A and B are shown apart, each in its own frame.
Chain A
């Protein structure tokens, strides 16, 4: 029996298939989940993939946050189930208040799509143990609502508690994927909750798990191997 990792599809989700593929590339079983279904089908962990759920018409992730499946995800996440939110999934986690802060329109108002360099700031979360703290990785970034904001007190709390999980690498040439791509406060690309089981980030690890596609590197695979190890050893 291998670990079962659920991947939720909402109307407007784009990256569910890539995420399922990434889960399988890591050696786990991908369990497709439907947003109207409260049942997580015995998934041991859940990924909220990227896209534009419900068209992002109200705010990114705001409508999907009230879908039936999210009732179960919120309850289980609070009980310790690992949850990873990628891009729209990250927006959904902030709208659900599983992670603090909010996501806003990029400061330059453009959709951005590029390979993005990141620094792993916390390699102790459920999804990052196969990295090392301080490790630099490159994975694709593609969004228009990627600007992370929170009030100063929350930002200070995240820093002090080591809950900034990923930061955009600044310095170097923008064309090479360096720099803050969207105006996120303190160059934050991703954060974790206090327990380390819930992680959200804007860039897309699931698009960098096979050498043939994406960045040509497999820097994103570590997310899925990390969670697999955690679940198998649990």
Chain B
């Protein structure tokens, strides 16, 4: 089965207090030099059948109507390469 990844991020102009909390903790842990952190969501979809244009178009629609709230969030869709191809 193919895997499609949908990444959802708050729009740049929206305040992300969760990302800020992470960023503020970094120097305390000894990780310097990180100017900003923004926290998003990653959805990994295991897709039955071929991941063709039609399937990707359906996933795009799913992301737009449900996985992301486009009032406050942007999203990207990409096909993940299979694990065996990565090694």
Chain A residues within CB distance 8 Å of chain B: 58-59, 62, 66, 94-95, 100-102, 104-109, 147, 149-151, 183
Which of B14, B15, B17, B66 contacts A62 (CB under 8 A)? B66
Question: What is the interface residue range for chain B against chain A?
Answer: 10 to 19
Using Cβ atoms and an 8 Å threshold, which residues of chain A touch B18? 105, 109
| Dominant secondary structure at the A interface | loop
Do residues B17 and A102 form an inter-chain contact, with CB atoms below 8 A?
Answer: no
Do residues B21 and A150 form an inter-chain contact, with CB atoms below 8 A?
Answer: no
Using Cβ atoms and an 8 Å threshold, which residues of chain B touch A58? 66-67
Chain B residues within CB distance 8 Å of chain A: 10, 13-15, 17-18, 21, 66-67, 69, 71-72
Instruction: Please measure, in the bound complex, the distance between the C-alpha atom of A15 and the C-alpha atom of B50, giving whole angstroms.
Output: 45
Chain A nearest CB, measured from B51 CB (Å)? 23
Which of B14, B17, B72 contacts A108 (CB under 8 A)? B17
A104 with B14, Cβ < 8 A, contacts A58-B66, A66-B66 known: yes
Using Cβ atoms and an 8 Å threshold, which residues of chain B touch A151? 13
Instruction: Please measure, in the bound complex, the distance between the C-alpha atom of A211 and the C-alpha atom of B18, giving whole angstroms.
Output: 38
Q: Lowest 3 A-B CB distances belong to which pairs?
A: A102-B71, A102-B72, A107-B17
Do residues A105 and B17 form an inter-chain contact, with CB atoms below 8 A?
Answer: yes
Instruction: Please measure, in the bound complex, the distance between the C-alpha atom of A126 and the C-alpha atom of B67, giving whole angstroms.
Output: 33
Using Cβ atoms and an 8 Å threshold, which residues of chain B touch A107? 15, 17
Q: Which residue of A lies closest to B70 (CB)?
A: A102
Q: Which residue of A lies closest to B67 (CB)?
A: A58
Using Cβ atoms and an 8 Å threshold, which residues of chain B touch A183? 15, 17
